[in-house]
Amino acid sequence: PLEPWHIGGPVIKGFGRGSKVLGIPTANLSTERYTTLLSEHPSGVYFGWAGLSARGVYKMVMSIGWNPYFNNKEKTIEPWLLHEFDEDFYGEELLLVVVGYIRPELNFPSLESLIEKIHDDRRIAEKALELPLYSKHRNDPYLEVSN
């Protein structure tokens, strides 16, 4: 297992593709403060815990990278919080504890296969985060800053 790492900041606007095209909303974070940290970790799909100020702590599965399918020019940090929210939370402080790595970033022949893979990732994250090894990080002090 990885040493957990921490990233946070206000939720920013992305390209609006997460929920609109894929049915998978991702709460984007600015990469600006994390150039070094990101260069130390490969692009790909990670999982962990997400704390949203005034709301709670949730499981999350996250893509870090260039989204080859969409051919982005900039690296993005995009956690999908595994919870149904009634409203958007742009601008709110989001804190992440990243505890595990699922796979490298891949390209996909179709949007359908990309979506399918993301749902596989979600199931892997959901299950892994139940294991004591990973579930204990729900109580990471970093997340308490928000509560």
Q: For residue 26, state whether it binds Mg ion (rule: CB under 5 A).
A: yes
Pick from 7, 8, 27, 95 the residue near ligand ADP by CB under 6 A.
27
Residue tagged active-site, from 78, 87, 92, 130: 78
62 with 46: CB under 8 angstroms? Answer: yes
Q: In the annotation, is 105 catalytic?
A: no
- Give least dist CB 70 to ligand ADP, A: 11
Does position 70 bind ligand ADP by CB under 6 A? no
* Minimum gap (Å) between residue 32 Cβ and ligand ADP: 16
Greatest Cα pair distance in the chain: 42
63 with 26: CB under 8 angstroms? yes
With CA atoms as reference, report the closest residue to 137 among 81, 103, 101, 98.
98
Spatial separation of the C-alpha atoms in residues 68 and 87, rounded to whole Å: 29
For the four alpha carbons of 119, 13, 48 and 63, in that order, the dihedral sign comes to: positive
Identify which of residues 54 and 132 has a Cβ nearer to ligand ADP in the complex.
54
CA angle, 81 then 99 then 7, to 5°:
65
Which entry of ligand ADP, Mg ion, none binds 100, CB below 5 to 8 A by partner kind? none
Specify the stretch interacting with ligand ADP by CB under 6 A; choose among 25-33, 40-48, 128-136, 138-146.
25-33
Q: Does 14 bind Mg ion (CB under 5 A)?
A: yes
Active centre residues (catalytic): 78
